[in-house]
Amino acid sequence: MLVVVAYLLVGGTLTAAETVANAQKDLTLLNEARLRTDWRINADETAIEGNGLNFSVTNTGNEIITDFRHIDVFTYDNSNSDYEHYTFDNDRTGSAGKWAVIRINDNYNPPNQLYPGEKAWIMATFSSNDPVWVMITTNNGIYSQLAAPVTGWR
């Protein structure tokens, strides 16, 4: 009986230690990815066309951006003093409250991946008045924002 208790105690301790070590490793990898992630909205390529805010972002970091489903876009409308949240639209339906990647400038890399130095053109379809501010944020909290007035932005 004593051997069984010792076996369970040692086994439980080793399992707990392995779980903690794996969690610390995963957290370190996430933090490293966050440090290598950066991007910028290009002010000279931002315009409103109809109910769409079109803009481009450049991956200025060293991390490949792939998880578009968990990237959020926000805009602010001065007239209503209201923020609008946009979710990813993989089918590019152009529905209000959705954003989509229209294209990525490098056709040589795998699709739907924004490599360092590449530029993606994005369209966010808004449902209220013309926005005067836009912010795009990655799933690990890195963001870029831009406020009007910008050349071509009404």
Q: Which of 118, 80, 83, 116 is nearest to 101 (CA)?
A: 118
Q: Could you tell me if residue 2 is inside a domain?
A: yes
On whether both 110 and 138 belong to a single domain, the answer is yes
3-state secondary structure of 139: coil
**CA 81 to mean position of chain CA atoms:** 24
Q: Considering the entire predicted model, what is its pTM?
A: 0.77
Is residue 134 in a domain? yes
With beta carbons less than 8 A apart as the criterion, state whether 124 and 52 touch: yes
Per-residue pLDDT of the chain (154 residues; tens, 9 = 90+): 878 777 788 888 888 888 888 888 777 766 676 667 899 999 888 888 888 999 999 999 999 998 999 999 999 987 777 899 999 998 888 899 999 999 998 767 787 899 999 999 999 999 878 888 999 999 888 999 998 765 556 5
Q: Which domain holds residue 83?
A: 39-147
What CA–CA distance (Å, rounded) separates 24 from 76?
38
87 lies in some domain? yes
Residues 67, 80, single domain; the answer is yes
Residue type, 28: T
